[in-house]
């Protein structure tokens, strides 16, 4: 995948299995999203590189190239800044993963053949920042998705920074360094439980100390990384697999107890009851090394 400069823009060559509409439709499914904005086929968000937040605007040309422009005052004048911006976008859209084998297996899979046809070109949209992924996993526990987005918006606007442009605020997710200095009472204005506040602060402190890091987890085998995450207070198997799937990019991550996954399988199989865990394991047996993608596509069926 070739990346090159055109004036102040960066251009990323996209893989064949990419469709702008499929990805932008996914990104606009929740109106309360606060980390980016999609408007007129332009995607705008802040990407933090080092100590600098760059307000980037993405557009896609003929599903072949993604053009990265810059708004505001900050410009990536150094090569390493440009490379890290591109790396972040590639990680966000999972552009370095060849998903052709997934599409091949899905053609003959009773659960997947319709979703891959309807959402062809959808990538497994990630959360490259580990702290953001862990917080999002904790915030989403045992509540519906709409309320989880409300909590995230309250959290980000209370403790994150922003860049103002064109009369709008573009938010930056709070840093773990800042959250580690707080107490649960500092988070009392956000409508989350005290336990969730404790979990998030605890995660931030583990990241400040270096006990938990993306680099460490990515250098582990899947089972080791899962075990390490579950040892963190507030992180159970569902949250661990969610983070392994969307941040750490383990292809076998599989949140088998996820309510959305269970409901998608129930609906797709026209069942009058929820599928059992054994039934899900049997249905998913052909998905070896593609459990994450299969889960993501089945989630997509629901909204």
Catalytic annotation, residues: 258
**How many of the other CB atoms lie within 10 Å of CB of 227?**
12
| Contact indicator for 206, 232 with CB cutoff of 8 Å | yes
**What is the C-alpha to C-alpha distance for residues 83 and 89, in angstroms, rounded to an integer?**
10
Q: Which residues are CB-contacts of 121 (< 8 A; sequence separation ≥ 6)?
A: 17, 18, 19, 20, 21, 22, 23, 63
CA 186 to chain centre: 26
Beta bridge partners of 12: 3, 66
Residue 7 has, within 13 A of its CA and on its CB side, a CA count of 4
Hey, which residues does 9 pair with through a beta bridge?
6
Torsions phi, psi for 286 (to 5 deg): -75, -5
d(CA 232, CA 250): 19
């Amino acid at each position: 995948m070739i990346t090159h400069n055109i004036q102040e823009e960066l251009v990323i060559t996209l893989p064949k299995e990419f469709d702008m509409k499929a990805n932008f439709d996914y990104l606009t499914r929740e109106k309360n999203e606060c980390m980016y904005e999609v408007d007129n086929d332009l995607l705008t968000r802040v990407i933090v590189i080092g100590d600098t937040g760059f307000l980037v605007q993405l557009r896609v040309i003929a599903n072949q190239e993604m053009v990265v422009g810059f708004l505001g005052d900050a410009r990536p004048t150094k090569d390493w800044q440009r490379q890290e911006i591109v790396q972040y976008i590639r990680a966000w859209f999972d552009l370095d993963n060849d998903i052709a084998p997934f599409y091949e297996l899905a053609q003959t899979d009773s659960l997947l053949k319709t979703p891959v046809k309807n959402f062809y070109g959808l990538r497994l949209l990630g959360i490259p920042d580990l702290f953001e992924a862990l917080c999002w996993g904790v915030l989403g526990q045992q509540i519906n998705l709409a309320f989880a987005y409300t909590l995230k918006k309250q959290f980000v606007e209370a403790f994150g920074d922003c860049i103002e442009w064109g009369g709008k605020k573009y938010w930056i997710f709070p840093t773990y360094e800042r959250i580690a200095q707080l107490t649960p009472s500092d988070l009392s204005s956000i409508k989350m439980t005290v336990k969730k506040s404790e979990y998030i602060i605890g995660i931030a402190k583990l990241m400040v100390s270096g006990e938990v890091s993306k680099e460490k987890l990515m250098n582990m085998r899947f089972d080791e990384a899962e075990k390490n995450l579950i040892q963190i207070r507030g992180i159970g198997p569902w949250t661990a697999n969610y983070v392994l799937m969307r941040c750490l990019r383990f292809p076998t991550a599989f949140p088998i107890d996820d309510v959305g996954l269970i409901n998608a399988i129930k609906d797709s199989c026209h069942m009058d009851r929820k599928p059992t865990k054994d039934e899900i394991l049997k249905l998913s047996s052909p998905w070896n090394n593609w459990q994450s993608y299969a889960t993501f596509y089945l989630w997509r069926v629901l909204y």
